[in-house]
């Protein structure tokens, strides 16, 4: 089976942010991302890593089925802990919660030496807060819709300089605000979801949530 892998829109957006030729894919599961990137010759080599044996076995089988075992190495690793000796151009951490992604980055040295592509499934504001207050600069962001759900994809790099973000920018994504005309439908859906979440907080008596809720409403009007 050496047919071409096709990615869903979420993973295609992650792939679209890859810059260099050597990717580490953390939490690779089926290894679809590195297989696609090798097949399309966007990268020369990859490490597909996972904390669990089951997903790593799936990755190994998939890599062999596509004849890419010379290009994609598999490594059992909790986050980046077993991968510190590698010198990747890019590190992708996709399909995990934002707090777990933050923990993976914060406990690693190589995360400061490679371009990061992060796709949090939740708590994206906590991840952005960590990045912008710990010397990582968010270079770009995009939103991708798949099966009715909007996903956030963040491109970041360590610069040693902290960036000022407002609360609204942490939740929505400053670059998403800047880029909103490139993907207006996804942007609207993303902000609508935040507005709904904050509406529940306000209706539940959380007065501290009111000003952000109003800011989100303003984004829906403009
Ligand atoms: C939902 S899958 C995402 C797969 C793929 N990255 C994607 O975006 O489609 C999450 C994967 O992350 C792995 N994972 C969870 N915690 C991890 C950790 N601390 N380090 C490495 N992998 C982890 C899981 O075993 C699982 O295979």
Does residue 186 sit within a domain? yes
Residue of 147, 146, 94, 145 lying closest to 124 (CA atoms): 94
Does residue 1 sit within a domain? no
| Whether residue 98 sits in one domain with residue 26 | yes
The C-alpha atoms of residue 45 and residue 88 are separated, in whole angstroms, by: 9
| Whether residue 106 sits in one domain with residue 56 | yes
Calculate how far, in angstroms, residue 201's C-alpha sits from the geometric centre of ligand 1.
Answer: 30
pTM over 0.85: yes
182-202 residue pLDDT tens: 999 999 999 999 999 999 999
34: Cβ below 6 Å to ligand 1?
no
The C-alpha atoms of residue 175 and residue 179 are separated, in whole angstroms, by: 6
Angle, alpha carbons 100-123-178 (nearest 5°): 120
From the first residue on, what is the mean pLDDT of each consecutive set of 10 residues in the chain (222 residues)?
A: 88 98 98 98 98 98 97 98 98 98 97 98 98 98 97 98 97 97 97 96 93 94 80
- Hunting for tokens 């590190």 — which residue is that? 91
Does residue 18 sit within a domain? yes
Segments in 17-97 forming alpha helices (H): 32-39, 53-65
Taking the CA atoms of residue 109, residue 112, residue 114 and residue 120 in that order, the dihedral angle to the nearest 10 degrees is 100
| Whether residue 145 sits in one domain with residue 52 | yes
72-98 residue pLDDT tens: 999 999 999 999 999 999 999 999 999
Domain membership of residue 187 as a residue range: 180-222
Calculate how far, in angstroms, residue 218's C-alpha sits from the geometric centre of ligand 1.
Answer: 36
51: Cβ below 6 Å to ligand 1?
yes
Q: Is the Cβ–Cβ distance between 114 and 24 less than 8 Å? A: yes
Q: Whose CA is nearest to atom 24 of ligand 1?
A: 27
């Amino acid at each position: 089976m050496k047919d071409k892998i096709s990615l869903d829109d979420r993973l295609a957006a992650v792939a679209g942010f890859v810059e260099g030729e050597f990717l580490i894919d953390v939490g690779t599961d089926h290894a679809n991302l590195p297989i696609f990137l090798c097949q399309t010759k966007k990268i020369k080599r990859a490490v597909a890593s996972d904390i669990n044996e089951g997903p790593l076995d799936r990755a190994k089988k998939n890599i062999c089925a596509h004849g890419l075992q010379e290009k994609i190495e598999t490594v059992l690793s909790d986050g980046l802990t077993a991968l510190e000796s590698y010198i990747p151009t890019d590190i992708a951490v996709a399909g995990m919660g934002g707090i777990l992604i933050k923990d993976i980055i914060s406990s690693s040295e190589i995360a400061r030496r490679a371009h990061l592509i992060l796709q949090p499934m939740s708590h994206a504001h906590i991840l952005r807060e960590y990045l912008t207050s710990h010397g990582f600069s968010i270079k770009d962001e995009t939103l991708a819709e798949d099966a009715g759900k909007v996903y956030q994809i963040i491109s970041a790099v360590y610069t040693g300089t902290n960036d000022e973000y407002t609360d609204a920018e942490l939740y929505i994504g400053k670059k998403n605000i800047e880029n909103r005309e490139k993907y207006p439908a996804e942007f609207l859906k993303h902000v609508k979801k935040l507005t709904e979440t904050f509406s529940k907080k306000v209706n539940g008596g959380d007065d501290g949530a009111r000003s952000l809720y109003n800011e989100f409403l303003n984004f829906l009007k403009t």
